[in-house]
Amino acid sequence: MRVAVLGAGAMGARAARTLAGLPGVDALVVADRDPDAATELAAALPGATAHRVDVTNDSGLRAALADVDTVLTTVGPFYRFGAGVLRAAIATGTDYVDICDDWEPTLESFELDGAARAAGVCAVVGAGASPGLSTLLASAAAGRLDRVRDLYTAWPVDAATPPPSADPAMAGAAGVHWMHQCSGEVAELSGGAVVRRAPLRPVALRLPGGRDGTGWTVGHPEPVTLHRTVAPSGESACLMLLRPATAAYLDVLRRDIDAGRITPDGAAALLEPPSPSRVLRSLPGAFTRPGPGALPAFFAAADGTVDGRSVRVCARLETDGAVLHDMAAVTGVPAALATAQLPAVRRPGVHPPDAVLDGPRLFADLAVAFPGTRVIIEEEAGWLTD
């Protein structure tokens, strides 16, 4: 398989390094609009070549994709660049994987399902950590139930160890994406239907084993993709696990973005270092907002019924805590493993990860990359929320 990785930043570099060591990858192309970055990364990988590709230049992008079997794109933010790369892949008959973590281009990508089927192209949208691993965990949790009511995914921001602002991967596109999805309105499910709500809404959960706590909603693809594959009849949202002070500070940024006082790009620049004046404005909330309590670091939780009885299920990823706070690793490695799976599982169309990927195999491969990693599924009687 000939693979192109678009983007030589932190996540693309980690994905490329992983792909370079996997069987079945016969040729690897590293492509970036910065030729020096692409060349430096390719020079460190056996058999890799570098290309200058600007994803906003459609003819140049199509020329690059025409020479490979599969493209893995890490170029973000996806709400600006996502669907255009998929259109180019469909036009050139190139299978496609991305790490899209914006719900708007995810829905736009699903609109291309018919075109992908007609072209014989298999596209997997959102194959990183969240979405990606989170989506597969949600599928595993939901699979324990006869009927699914509520379904949540959650990922850690700073509930333990370092905050993402200390991670260089949060700079640039990732930070802008985060601020975009912490402002305005985001997609969730309510009553089984897609609705728009303001983000940073607290959701208190009761998980099996007394793991109770609160997460905060954020715009992400999981609710809209799980709406297609699992079809919960109740609520569904993606949650961040935040310290109370962080939740309060993000809410100040959200209100300033929504009021037009600052843009998502400007807010991203205030993640590290934080704005002193906004920290002061956030102090009252820092002492009143609930925290994550005993919630696990990275999980999906579902409730519903089994033989008419209410049951709540949690599928959690247990791994080295440092891995979960290394955005490049926890996003780039699963995306590379998903890309390597594609020849064995491919089916024409545009799919979320749980519709086409072999989840148990991906988690087994992840345990090879990160020894000690495992999925733990627990269930008990009851609902997730009051």
Asked if 289 and 352 sit in the same domain, the reply is: no
* Tokens standing for residue 344: 């064995």
Asked if 99 and 175 sit in the same domain, the reply is: no
| Residue pLDDT, tens place only, 94-140 | 999 999 999 999 999 999 999 999 999 999 999 999 999 999 999 99
With respect to residue 297, please indicate whether it lies within any of the assigned structural domains.
Answer: yes
| Summary mean pLDDT of the chain | 95
Q: Residue 159's pLDDT band (boundaries 50, 70, 90)?
A: low
With respect to residue 184, please indicate whether it lies within any of the assigned structural domains.
Answer: yes
| Residues of the chain above pLDDT 70, percent | 97
Q: Domain with 114 in it: what CATH number?
A: 3.40.50.720
Provide the pLDDT for residue 160.
Answer: 54
Does 164 have pLDDT greater than 50?
Answer: no
Asked if 151 and 263 sit in the same domain, the reply is: yes
Would you call the peptide bond into 77 cis, given omega within 30 degrees of 0 as the criterion?
A: yes
Provide the pLDDT for residue 97.
Answer: 99
With respect to residue 138, please indicate whether it lies within any of the assigned structural domains.
Answer: yes
User: Nearest-CA neighbor of 96 among 127, 71, 118?
Assistant: 71
With respect to residue 386, please indicate whether it lies within any of the assigned structural domains.
Answer: no
Asked if 294 and 356 sit in the same domain, the reply is: no
| Residue pLDDT, tens place only, 195-246 | 999 999 999 999 999 999 999 999 999 999 999 999 999 999 999 999 999 9
* Tokens standing for residue 82: 């996502």
Question: What distance in Å separates the CA atoms of residue 349 and residue 229, rounded to the nearest whole number?
Answer: 14
Provide the pLDDT for residue 82.
Answer: 82
Provide the pLDDT for residue 77.
Answer: 87
Does 161 have pLDDT greater than 60?
Answer: no
Query: Within 10 A of 35 (CB to CB), how many other CB atoms are there?
Result: 14
With respect to residue 385, please indicate whether it lies within any of the assigned structural domains.
Answer: no
With respect to residue 110, please indicate whether it lies within any of the assigned structural domains.
Answer: yes
- Local structure of residue 292 (DSSP, 8 states): -
Q: Domain with 290 in it: what CATH number?
A: 3.30.360
Q: Choose the weakest-confidence range: 97-101, 158-162, 257-261, 381-385.
A: 158-162
Which residues, in sequence order, are CB contacts of 138 under 8 Å at separation 6+? 151, 153, 222, 226, 230, 300, 302, 315, 354
312-to-46, 138, 150, 171, 176 alpha-carbon distances in Å: 47, 12, 9, 37, 35
Provide the pLDDT for residue 169.
Answer: 44
Asked if 258 and 186 sit in the same domain, the reply is: yes
Length of the chain counted residue by residue = 386
| Residue pLDDT, tens place only, 263-281 | 999 999 999 999 999 999 9
| Residue pLDDT, tens place only, 310-357 | 999 999 999 987 898 899 999 999 999 999 999 999 999 999 999 999
Asked if 101 and 157 sit in the same domain, the reply is: no
Question: What distance in Å separates the CA atoms of residue 78 and residue 336, rounded to the nearest whole number?
Answer: 18
Asked if 162 and 303 sit in the same domain, the reply is: yes
Structurally, the chain folds into a number of domains equal to 2
Asked if 189 and 231 sit in the same domain, the reply is: yes
Asked if 94 and 70 sit in the same domain, the reply is: yes
Asked if 183 and 302 sit in the same domain, the reply is: yes
Q: Residue 163's pLDDT band (boundaries 50, 70, 90)?
A: very low
Q: Residue 87's pLDDT band (boundaries 50, 70, 90)?
A: very high
For CA atoms 92, 96, 100, 105, give the dihedral sign.
Answer: positive
Provide the pLDDT for residue 173.
Answer: 78
Does 3 have pLDDT greater than 50?
Answer: yes
- Give the 3-state secondary structure of residue 54: coil
Domain that holds residue 268: 133-320+375-380
Does 382 have pLDDT greater than 80?
Answer: yes
Asked if 190 and 301 sit in the same domain, the reply is: yes
Contact status, residue 74 vs residue 37, Cβ threshold 8 Å: no
Question: What distance in Å separates the CA atoms of residue 360 and residue 338, rounded to the nearest whole number?
Answer: 12
With respect to residue 47, please indicate whether it lies within any of the assigned structural domains.
Answer: yes
With respect to residue 221, please indicate whether it lies within any of the assigned structural domains.
Answer: yes
Q: Residues 81, 189, 193, 99: what is their CA dihedral angle, to the nearest 10 degrees?
A: 30
Question: What distance in Å separates the CA atoms of residue 362 and residue 355, rounded to the nearest whole number?
Answer: 14
Asked if 179 and 284 sit in the same domain, the reply is: yes
At how many degrees (to 10) do helices 327-345 and 10-20 cross?
A: 50
Question: What distance in Å separates the CA atoms of residue 375 and residue 366, rounded to the nearest whole number?
Answer: 10
Q: pTM of the full predicted structure?
A: 0.95
